[in-house]
Amino acid sequence: MENKYLRYGLVCLAVFVWGAIIYRVVAGMSGPESQVIPVKKQTAAPPARVSDNFVLNADYPDPFIPEADTLSAIETKKTVAGPVTPVTAPPVVSAPPEPAVSSFLQYIGMIGNPGKKRRIAILSLHGKEILVKENEKKDGVLVKKIDGDRIRIVYKGKVYIIEKNS
């Protein structure tokens, strides 16, 4: 019996606490009951303007033009007449050879699902392992065909066959 009275007391206490919480939430959401207060139009004198006593002195040289390139320095330079040597173009340097595909791309393995006939290749591209499906392109590498021991890829328009690492 004593347990029954304790239960009724706790239920009443819970109802009281939840009622207080709900009352505070509803009272907080409704906002204050405010009265409309008429606003009187106030006229104020415009603020007095205070003149600045700051003066900018711009009698210093331009910091972005070096001393030798100023106009007065250029005008005072004398030109020396002499034989003119033709300017030769610098030698043409060919672009560095493109790194071999096997240097940044390695075929690690394959995951296959015979039920759905899907194959996913595990590649190491620039040292980062990625998963690629057939006919999927990642970082400029298009995987055309995935076999158990090799893959066929297209990189920059060229077809490469990469063997699996042992």
The whole-number pLDDT of residue 22 equals 94
Q: State the total domains in the chain.
A: 1
Residues in the chain with pLDDT values less than 50? none
122: containing domain: 101-163
CATH number at 136 reads 2.30.30.830
The whole-number pLDDT of residue 11 equals 95
The whole-number pLDDT of residue 144 equals 92
- Rounded CA gap, 156 and 139, in Å? 11
Report the SS3 class of residue 45: coil
In a domain, 139, yes or no: yes
In a domain, 61, yes or no: no
Q: Please give the DSSP secondary-structure letter assigned to residue 55.
A: -
Torsional class of 64: left (φ above 0), alpha (ψ -120 to 50), beta (otherwise): alpha
The whole-number pLDDT of residue 12 equals 95
